Structure 1
């Protein structure tokens, strides 16, 4: 197939690109490099299936119009977005424009050219989990940050194209994803930051009490989920979760990464009003409709991520 991947130079996008190339598709990647890095794609520079890398903005309607008109895509995997919760609190306009308005421009091209859209949302749209059965797709949403609010707005718009135009779309909500190629600095995820600090001999700083829990999904499992959602007609018009199905407190995660507690410190939370105390994924819908379930345990995923950070000299 001919496939457009927005945000393909990003952390998850890079792994989605690899999966699509391994499956034999021709892909075009659109990324403005505000979050992604061109070097994430170096491995594929000579791959015949990577037809083009386009440095551009999803809000550039003329650019989108040209790309869609020329290449006759079968699927658009739309991962391009502003993804940082604190940035959305500090500057909600940028997040809304990228995540909601930018998604609208993508959807208009998909409608015009009858291209299936796979929209990457987030578990951050959910209210806290209240029991051990986990968060299903029917769980209440709560826009606790402008990031979550922008994603909820975009989700509803994407689904409206299914109902109004019979356009094949799916909204996917992966839980907290980690693994190789994730940034290890302030914009990175908690696993990557903890591992980097451990290797550098630095303290592991935990926001707040550290009792908040996260369901951590290894990136290759996430990429497999994203790609399969595009292949299947069974999820058209649906919202689908993906996660490990196991949550862990940030305190316990820090102990798992570092092995002892002397370097674990607690610091004031930067956005306590937008914290979700418990996140635990129920992925039964993905298992039922896609035959998907995670293959990599948290312990194995952390080991793989640490090995990658060591070899990449990101300490």
Structure 2
């Protein structure tokens, strides 16, 4: 197939690109490099399947029109977005424009050219998990940040194009994804930050009391899920979760990663109003419709991530 990946130079995006190339597709990447990095795609330079890497903005309608007219795409994996919760609280307009308005522009091109849309949403749209059965797709949503609100708005637009225009679309909600190529600074994920600080002998800072839980999905499992959603018509018009199906408190995660418990410190939460106390994924729907389930345990994923951080000299 001919495939477009927006946000393809990002952390999850580059793994999606890798999977698509391995499956033999012709892949175009669009990324404005606000979150992504050009060197995330270094591994694929010269690959015959990587048709083009365009540095550009999904809000540039002229650029989108040209890309879609020339690309003859079968599927658009729309991963391009503002992803930082705190940034969305500080500057909601940028997040809304990127995540909601930008998604509308992508949808319009997909509608004109009849291109399937796989829309990357987030588990952050959910209200807290109340039991150990996990969060299903029918679970209540709660836009506790402008990031979550913008994603919910975009999800509704994506699904409206399925119902109004019979355009094949799917909304996917991966839970907290981590692994190699994730940023290890303040804008990165908790696993990458904890590993980097542990390797550097620094303290691990936990926001609040650390009892909040996360369901942590290894990035290659996530990419497998994302790609599979584009291949299957069974998920068209659907919302589908993916996660490990196991949650862990941030306190437990820190102890799992830290070599010295004395290095674990609790600090004042920077955005307690948008904190979700418990996140636990129920991925039964993904298993039923896509035959997908996670393959990498948390312990193995942490080991692989630590190895990558060490060999990439990111300490």
Assess same fold via TM > 0.5: yes
Aligned partner of 1:146 in structure 2 is 146
Q: Deviations over 1:96-155 (max 9, x none)?
A: 000000000000000000000000000000000000000000000000000000000000
RMSD: 0.4
Distance, in Å, in 1 between the alignment partners of 2:69 and 2:303 is 44
> Counterpart of 2:35 in 1: which secondary structure?
coil
Query: Which runs of structure 2 are paired with 1:281-296 in the superposition (5 Å)?
Result: 281-296=281-296
Aligned partner of 1:44 in structure 2 is 44
Q: Is residue 2:162 matched to residue 1:133? A: no
> Counterpart of 1:292 in 2: which secondary structure?
coil
5+ long unaligned stretches in structure 2? none
Aligned partner of 1:185 in structure 2 is 185
> Counterpart of 2:261 in 1: which secondary structure?
coil
Distance, in Å, in 2 between the alignment partners of 1:283 and 1:218 is 14
User: What is the deviation of 1:70?
Assistant: 0.8
TM-score w.r.t. structure 1 length? 1.00
User: What is the deviation of 1:230?
Assistant: 0.2
Aligned partner of 1:108 in structure 2 is 108
Distance, in Å, in 2 between the alignment partners of 1:158 and 1:271 is 29
User: What is the deviation of 1:175?
Assistant: 0.0
5+ long unaligned stretches in structure 1? none
> Counterpart of 1:262 in 2: which secondary structure?
helix
Distance, in Å, in 1 between the alignment partners of 2:14 and 2:133 is 32
Aligned partner of 1:55 in structure 2 is 55
Aligned partner of 1:273 in structure 2 is 273
User: What is the deviation of 1:260?
Assistant: 3.4
Whether the 8 Å contact between 2:4 and 2:29 is mirrored in structure 1 is yes
Q: Is residue 2:252 matched to residue 1:213? A: no
Q: Deviations over 1:236-279 (max 9, x none)?
A: 00000000000000000000001431100000000000000000
Query: Which runs of structure 2 are paired with 1:69-84 in the superposition (5 Å)?
Result: 69-84=69-84
User: What is the deviation of 1:10?
Assistant: 0.2
> Counterpart of 2:53 in 1: which secondary structure?
strand
Distance, in Å, in 2 between the alignment partners of 1:20 and 1:106 is 20
Query: Which runs of structure 2 are paired with 1:144-183 in the superposition (5 Å)?
Result: 144-183=144-183
Distance, in Å, in 2 between the alignment partners of 1:70 and 1:121 is 27
Aligned partner of 2:264 in structure 1 is 264
> Counterpart of 1:227 in 2: which secondary structure?
helix
User: What is the deviation of 1:71?
Assistant: 1.2
Aligned partner of 2:309 in structure 1 is 309
Aligned partner of 2:21 in structure 1 is 21
Whether the 8 Å contact between 2:198 and 2:259 is mirrored in structure 1 is no
Distance, in Å, in 2 between the alignment partners of 1:46 and 1:266 is 46
Number of residues of Structure 1 aligned to a counterpart in Structure 2: 315
Distance, in Å, in 1 between the alignment partners of 2:206 and 2:313 is 24
Aligned partner of 2:67 in structure 1 is 67
Q: Is residue 2:10 matched to residue 1:10? A: yes
Distance, in Å, in 1 between the alignment partners of 2:275 and 2:121 is 17
> Counterpart of 1:27 in 2: which secondary structure?
strand
User: What is the deviation of 1:163?
Assistant: 0.1
